[in-house]
Structure 1
Amino acid sequence: MVTQDTQQQFGDYLKGLRQSKGLGVRELARRAELDAGGITRIEQGKISPTLDTLKALATALEVPSSDLFTMAGYVTPSDLPSMSTYLRTRYGLPEETIASVDEYVQRLIDERGLDPNGPAPFEDESENPSKK
Structure 2
Amino acid sequence: MATQDTQQQFGDYLKVLRQSRNLSVRELARRSNLDAGGITRIEQGKVSPTLDTLKALAIALEVPPSDLFTMAGYVIPSDLPSMSTYLRTRYGLPEDAIASVDEYVQKLIQEKGLNPDGPAPFEDETENPDKK
TM-score bracket, shorter-length normalisation: over 0.9
User: What's the counterpart of residue 4 of structure 1?
Assistant: 4
Q: 1:129 to 1:26 in 2, by over 3 A?
A: farther
Q: In 1, distance between residues paired with 2:15 and 2:127?
A: 27
Q: Which structure 2 residue ranges, 5 or more long, are not aligned?
A: none
Q: Which structure 1 residue ranges, 5 or more long, are not aligned?
A: none
> 1:56-99 CA deviation, whole Å, 9 max, x = no partner?
00000000000000000001111111100000001111111111
Q: In 2, distance between residues paired with 1:41 and 1:120?
A: 32
User: What's the counterpart of residue 19 of structure 1?
Assistant: 19
User: What's the counterpart of residue 108 of structure 1?
Assistant: 108
Q: In 2, distance between residues paired with 1:121 and 1:47?
A: 25
Q: Does 1:78 align with 2:78?
A: yes
User: What's the counterpart of residue 55 of structure 1?
Assistant: 55
Q: Of 95, 110, 128, which aligns to 2:126? A: 128
Q: In 1, distance between residues paired with 2:24 and 2:113?
A: 40
1:118 Cα deviation from its structure 2 partner: 1.2
TM-score, normalised to structure 1, is: 0.93
CA-based RMSD of the aligned residues comes to: 1.2
> 1:5-49 CA deviation, whole Å, 9 max, x = no partner?
111110111011111111110000000000000000101111110
Q: Which amino acid aligns with 2:32?
A: A
Structure 1 residue runs of 4+, over 3 Å off? none
Q: Which amino acid aligns with 1:26?
A: R
TM-score, normalised to structure 2, is: 0.93
Q: In 1, distance between residues paired with 2:59 and 2:86?
A: 21
1:119 Cα deviation from its structure 2 partner: 1.6
State the secondary structure of the residue aligned to 2:13. Answer: helix
